[in-house]
Chains A and B, each alone.
Chain A
Amino acid sequence: MASDTYPSVVHPAVPSGPVVSPYAPRPFVVRSRTQETPDTVTLRMEPRIPGDRLPFQGGQFNMVYVFGVGESAISISGDPARPGELVHTVRAVGKVTNALAALAPGAVVGIRGPYGRGWPLDSARGRDVLVVAGGLGLPPLRPTLYEIFRRRAEFGRVEIIYGARTPKDLVFAEEVRDWLQRREMRIQTTVDAAGRDWYGDVGVVTTRLPDARFDAARTTAFICGPEIMMKLTAQALVQRGVASDAIWLSMERNMKCAFAFCGHCQFGPAFVCRDGPVLSYKTLAPLLAIKEV
């Protein structure tokens, strides 16, 4: 089982070469822009400096800088097997993300990262894997889903539950339709409300758990979405017998420096940017029980 105990403070050695500011971004060029939902876009980027690859682990994030506007922490939603390509899925909700979502191919952004700890996929080897995503929780999970598909034989059953407000709010709709056809896993999609053109489930993601096939005693769960959704899903899984240290949640906090210096993302004893964003429910449960932490 992977552990998410906090590392002790390590003071970095004084660099011997030229000093590069940890705040210095690397330039990436937007190559394509896909409108996922009315307020969400996926940007595919490539490094402006040839060969400037960006290896990452599913669940990690970058600080994405729109020049002259500001910087925002965005999870990586692309394929870890393609480190020469960077993919971010962005919902336009604030100044920076509105500017990001409006970028056209050819635009240049600054990238710092990748940062944080991602999904501990190796801890799920030989076990059933349950992936639960709510709303924009799917993009941070997609890199790990690609990894699971590639390493499918290493895992038991693979179950995915994906919920959104309405059918129009489902991101990666075409890809999800493709996943529905695949036999090596099961996927359930559900929405809060729908019209008559929707033939899937209606209800919150937790209502789909009874239909998910997994052996609770040997299941690792990866959950991403709004905090209340993750909390309720984790509680339901514990009730069903999944161990709290086998349930992993991706926390969202106000990340600024992204290397555990500024303290903006502190969540109890954890710095979400360094110790997370993916943390075990065993660690998080006491903190999630406190209101307005």
Chain B
Amino acid sequence: MKESSGEPIVDRVLRHPFFAGIDPTLIHAMVSKAEERTYEVGDMLVREGKPAEEFFLIEDGKVALEVGAADRSVITVETIGRGEILGWSWLVPPYRWRFDARAIKPTQAIALNAAAARYALAAHPAFGYQFLTKFLPVLAERLENTRVQLLDIHG
């Protein structure tokens, strides 16, 4: 993983599809500790069981969500790409990652600080509501996709 430089991070956050429609002044409260990141193929973004201290806006590339156990090899259960958001464990106690995330293409992302985000959501309830109305459909869509996967639709 290495740092990259470019346009102001807040502008990139504002341009990310996830934040479309959210009041920009409120977004500023959330991005104070945001960092831009680039990952090479194989780099880990998060590791299962570790504290979920940030979450990611994927600007480009592709990330595999992986689960593994001692008695079986690592399995990718979902991929996340450009324009998507990675991570919800930072929002739900005990704030620990439930899976591994590994770059499978060169990936550019913005890492948002989880503590700063939680503080912003709590301190600005209107923003918190706006944010959650954007976040909930993402979770709902992923839950629905998981259910559809269980139907073995590619069988």
Q: In the complex the two chains form, is A232's CB within 8 Å of B153's CB?
A: yes
Interface residues of A in 154-212 (CB under 8 A from B): 163-165, 169, 190-196, 198-207, 211
The reply to whether B104 and A199 form a contact with Cβ atoms under 8 Å apart is: yes
Interface footprint category on B: 20 to 34
Q: State in angstroms the CA–CA spacing of A207 and B79 once bound together.
A: 10
Of B27-35, B68-76, B91-99, B112-120, which binds chain A?
Answer: B68-76
Q: Looking at chain A's contact residues, is the secondary structure mostly helix, strand, loop, or mixed?
A: mixed
Assembled-state Cα–Cα distance A63/B93 (Å): 59
| Interface of B (DSSP majority class) | strand
* B77 and A205 contacting across the interface, CB-CB below 8 Å: no
Q: How far is the CA of A200 from the CA of B105 in the complex (A)?
A: 9
Report the stretch among A65-73, A222-230, A273-281 that lies at the interface.
A222-230
In the complex, residue of chain B having the shortest beta-carbon distance to the beta carbon of A133:
B154
Interface set, chain B 100-155, CB cutoff 8 A to A: 102, 104-105, 145, 148-149, 151-155
A192–B148 Cα distance when bound, in Å, is 10
Once the chains bind, are A204 and B75 in contact (CB under 8 Å)?
no
- Contact (Cβ within 8 A) B153 A205: yes
* Interface pair B104/A204, CB less than 8 Å apart: no
As a 0/1 sequence over residues 51 to 90 of chain B, the CB contacts with chain A under 8 angstroms (1 = contact) are 0000000000010111000000111111101000000000
20 residue pairs from A and B, CB less than 8 Å apart: A135-B155, A190-B79, A192-B149, A193-B76, A193-B77, A194-B75, A195-B76, A196-B73, A199-B104, A199-B105, A201-B79, A202-B79, A203-B78, A203-B79, A204-B148, A204-B154, A205-B154, A226-B152, A229-B154, A232-B153
Q: Which residues of B contact A (CB under 8 A)?
A: 41, 62, 64-66, 73-79, 81, 102, 104-105, 145, 148-149, 151-155
Q: Which 9 A-B pairs have the closest CB atoms?
A: A229-B153, A135-B154, A163-B154, A202-B79, A134-B154, A194-B76, A202-B76, A201-B79, A204-B148
